């Protein structure tokens, strides 16, 4: 006789991402005290803006487990939260999208336009727009993640897939685009100063990486689309909304003629609303374009006229266009949604608009809690200097490894990718790497613009897998908003597991493309090559 053996199964326990980030905060606090006790430190060089000479800087790990550390944690909690960049941008984006959705504009747009597009093409469009969105800092995260989730769901696809596609497109393609943007404006001054340590007459053009970033933006988007459709989509499966899961069959006696008449009337109003929305969109977009054209009557109001170059005026640190882009997109969605609602008669008064926003803002509470905790975690980690110390070690290793040519470029790319996990900001990393890496490249017959592109590659490879990325909270938050089983939240581990295939294949693609570009000798930009 066979004996039935009962196997005891331990019930899996799922830690919510908020809980995990709280654990990480305590871990960082304890780790900072331990590393300070061991006097963990590093020395890195910066370039003096006045003399253009190297200045040595000592950075040490600061403990958070003392009086000053605790004072920082408690006194800066509100500042950390309110100054967290993704917070305001996300709220603005949700305001515009909620109106566009509640009035029916997004539904009609999907039904009449996007539903006719092949699903692979739609995925490519989302990834491509996400990839080139780094033209204007991090707007791709806050605009495209919620928008892609809605578009995929309205097209009867898993919204998680849209979230993953948008997030992966932005993070793993960060720094490539179809034109020069904010990254060039932020990095090139540092690159130029570092290059002048070797050549006092060195000049780095804003278009020095133009050809390669355009080519990579298309290649990475194509590879990303294949990964999403062939690997990630089958793993996620189909998505059903709660009301769809619970609905039952009902027999209803209806008048066929009446239904047909209602359908004709609805389509008429939808067409009228869509026409009004398109006209409004064209007017608003033309108005925005006029605002970034200089030297015309009442134009240029979104430019920073204190900058010398047009790109500096458009993408500089104090650019009104760059700072206000999220608001402009929210305003565009708002006006287009209202125009559609009036034309389609889906809204009758202001109360319909306000009430329509409630549904989209209902789940935002969970994301706000997550953003609060993440903002504390990133601020505390930054204050400890742990990331800066380790990134300084990586930069020092690039200068002392003794490699030349292509091996040096690949070694630098890998170390930048590792440093990026702890220091996600490209400009912050470049201040550490440029004074060492650019001279090492130039002495190895590699150009300074190629060194700058290696920074882009290393940053992009690991940007999507670091919890220290500020917008990682938006990615996890939206995965959980569309999560059907609230008893099993999508954890940090699971959210990273979703994108590991994308990470692995895109990382290999980045490295192979860099090697191929170097070996073939293709230009990085007009008159600029990987070698001097």
pLDDT tens digit string along 456-500?
999 999 999 998 988 898 999 889 888 888 778 888 989 999 999
If 0-12 CB within 10 Å is exposed, 13-18 middle and 19+ buried, where does residue 200 land?
A: exposed
**pLDDT at residue 322, as a whole number:** 79
Residues in the chain: 532
Instruction: Give the integer Cα–Cα distance in Å for 252 and 268.
Output: 25
Instruction: Say how many CA atoms lie within 13 Å of 340 toward its Cβ.
Output: 25
CA distance 11 to 35: 37
Nearest to 35 by CA among 384, 421, 392: 384
pLDDT of 262 higher than 70: no
Q: Check residue 44 and report its DSSP letter.
A: E
Other residues' Cβ atoms within 10 Å of the Cβ of residue 355: 11
350 versus 199: which is more confidently predicted? 199
Give the Cα separation of 93 and 21 in Å (integer).
25
List the single range of 190-204, 342-356, 375-389, 422-436 with lowest mean pLDDT: 342-356
Q: 153, 159 in Cβ contact below 8 A?
A: yes
Percent of the chain with pLDDT over 90: 45
Q: Does residue 357 contact residue 1 with C-beta atoms inside 8 Å?
A: no
Q: How many CB atoms lie within 10 A of CB 209?
A: 27
Nearest 5°: the CA angle 225, 231, 236 is 105
Say which DSSP state 83 is in.
T
Longest dimension (CA), the chain: 95
Q: How far, in whole angstroms, is CA 417 from its chain's centroid?
A: 16
Residues linked to residue 44 through DSSP beta bridges, in sequence order: 57
State the average pLDDT over residues 51-59: 84
Q: Choose among 213, 221, 314, 311: nearest CA to 526.
A: 213
pLDDT single digits (tens) 57-101: 899 999 999 999 999 999 999 999 988 888 888 888 888 888 888
Taking the alpha carbons at both ends of the chain, their separation in whole angstroms is 81
Q: Tell me how far the alpha carbon of residue 130 is from its chain's centroid.
A: 8
Q: Which of 16-30, 82-96, 313-327 has the lowest mean pLDDT?
A: 313-327
Residue for token pair 């999208």: 97
Evaluate if residue 6 carries a pLDDT over 70. Answer: no
CB-CB neighbours of 315 under 10 Å: 25
Least confident range of 35-39, 315-319, 396-400, 481-485: 315-319
pTM over 0.85: yes
d(CA 39, CA 181): 40
Q: What is the pLDDT of residue 256?
A: 60
> Which two three-digit tokens encode residue 201?
């007459």
The crossing angle, in degrees rounded to 10, of helices 139-154 and 320-344 is: 20
Can you tell me the distance from the alpha carbon of 212 to that of 33, in angstroms, rounded to the nearest whole number? 44
| pLDDT over 70 percentage in the chain | 92
Name the DSSP class of 464.
Answer: G
> What tokens appear for 454 in the block?
């290696």
Name the one residue in this structure whose structure tokens are 């933006």.
217
Interatomic CA distance for residues 498 and 161, integer angstroms: 10
Identify the three-state secondary structure at position 446: strand
pLDDT band for position 506 (cuts 50, 70, 90): very high
Strand-pairing partners, residue 55, are: 46
For residue 477, give the 3-state DSSP assignment: helix
In the three-class reduction of DSSP (H, G, I as helix; E, B as strand; rest coil), residue 152 is classed as helix
The pLDDT of 207-213, averaged and rounded, is: 91
Q: Which residues contact 119 (CB under 8 A, 6 or more apart)?
A: 155, 157, 229
Q: Which residue has the tokens 């990273």?
A: 496
Q: In degrees, to the nearest 5, what angle opens at C-alpha 412 toward C-alphas 407 and 418?
A: 130
Kindly state the helix (H) or strand (E) to which residue 351 belongs, with its residue range.
helix 350-361
Backbone angles phi, psi at 4, to 5 degrees: -80, 110
Nearby residues of 248 by Cβ (< 8 Å), 6 or more positions away: none
**Residue 245's pLDDT band (boundaries 50, 70, 90)?**
very low
Q: Return mean pLDDT, the chain.
A: 86
How confident is residue 249, by pLDDT bands cut at 50, 70 and 90? very low
pLDDT at 251 over 50: no
Q: Is the pLDDT of residue 275 over 50?
A: yes
| 346-391: pLDDT as tens digits | 888 777 777 777 766 767 778 888 999 999 999 999 999 999 999 9
Lowest mean pLDDT among 19-33, 98-112, 516-530: 98-112
Asked whether the beta carbons of 123 and 152 are under 8 A apart, the reply is: no
Q: Which of 85-94, 110-119, 282-291, 357-366 has the highest mean pLDDT?
A: 282-291
Q: Give the model's pLDDT for residue 224.
A: 95
- The pLDDT assigned to 479 comes to 92
Q: Give the residue from 113, 89, 95 showing the smallest Cα distance to 335.
A: 95
Q: Residue 66: name the closest of 37, 24, 23 by CA.
A: 37
């Amino acid at each position: 006789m066979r004996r039935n053996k009962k196997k005891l199964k331990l019930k899996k326990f799922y830690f919510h991402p908020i809980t995990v980030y709280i654990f990480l905060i305590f871990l960082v606090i304890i780790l900072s005290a331990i590393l300070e006790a061991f006097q963990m430190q590093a020395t890195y060089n910066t370039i003096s803006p006045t003399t253009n000479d190297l200045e040595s800087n000592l950075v040490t790990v600061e403990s958070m487990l003392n009086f000053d550390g605790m004072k920082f944690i408690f006194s800066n909690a509100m500042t950390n939260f309110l100054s967290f960049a993704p917070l305001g941008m996300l709220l603005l984006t949700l305001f515009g999208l909620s109106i566009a959705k509640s009035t029916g504009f997004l539904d009609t747009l999907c039904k009449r336009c996007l539903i006719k597009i092949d699903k692979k093409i739609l995925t490519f469009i989302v990834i491509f727009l996400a990839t080139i969105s780094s033209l204007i800092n991090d707007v791709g995260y806050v605009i495209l993640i919620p928008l892609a989730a809605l578009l995929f769901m309205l097209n009867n696809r898993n919204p998680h897939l849209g979230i993953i596609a948008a997030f992966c497109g932005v993070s793993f393609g960060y720094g490539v685009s179809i034109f020069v943007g904010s990254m060039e404006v932020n990095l090139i001054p540092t690159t130029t100063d570092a290059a002048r340590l070797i050549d006092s007459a060195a000049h780095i053009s804003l278009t020095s990486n133009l050809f390669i970033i355009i080519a990579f933006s298309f290649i990475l988007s194509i590879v990303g689309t294949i990964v999403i459709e062939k690997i990630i989509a089958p793993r996620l499966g189909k998505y059903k909304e709660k009301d769809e899961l619970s609905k039952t069959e009902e027999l209803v006696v209806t008048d066929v003629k009446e239904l047909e008449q209602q359908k004709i009337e609805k389509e008429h109003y939808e067409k009228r609303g869509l026409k009004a929305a398109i006209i409004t969109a064209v007017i608003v977009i033309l108005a925005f374009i006029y605002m970034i054209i200089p030297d015309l009557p009442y134009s240029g109001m979104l430019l920073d006229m204190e900058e010398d170059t047009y790109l500096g005026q458009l993408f500089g640190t104090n650019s009104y266009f760059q700072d206000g882009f999220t608001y402009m997109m929210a305003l565009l969605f708002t006006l287009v949604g209202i125009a559609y609602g009036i034309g389609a008669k889906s809204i009758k008064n202001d109360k319909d608009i306000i009430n329509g926003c409630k549904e989209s803002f209902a789940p935002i509470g969970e994301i706000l809690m997550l953003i609060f905790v993440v903002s504390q975690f990133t601020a505390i980690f930054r204050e400890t200097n742990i990331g800066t110390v380790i990134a300084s070690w990586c930069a020092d290793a690039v200068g002392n490894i003794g490699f030349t040519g292509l091996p040096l470029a690949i070694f630098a790319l890998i170390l930048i990718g590792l440093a990026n996990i702890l220091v996600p900001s490209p400009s912050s990393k470049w201040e550490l790497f440029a004074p060492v890496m650019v001279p090492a490249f130039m002495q190895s017959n590699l150009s300074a613009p190629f060194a700058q592109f290696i920074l882009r590659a290393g940053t992009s490879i690991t940007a999507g897998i670091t919890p220290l990325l500020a917008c990682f909270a938006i990615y996890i938050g939206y995965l959980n908003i569309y999560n059907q089983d609230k008893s099993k939240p999508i954890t940090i581990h699971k959210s990273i597991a979703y994108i590991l295939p994308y990470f692995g294949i895109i990382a290999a693609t980045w490295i192979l493309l860099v090697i191929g570009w170097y070996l073939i000798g293709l230009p990085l930009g007009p008159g600029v090559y990987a070698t001097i």
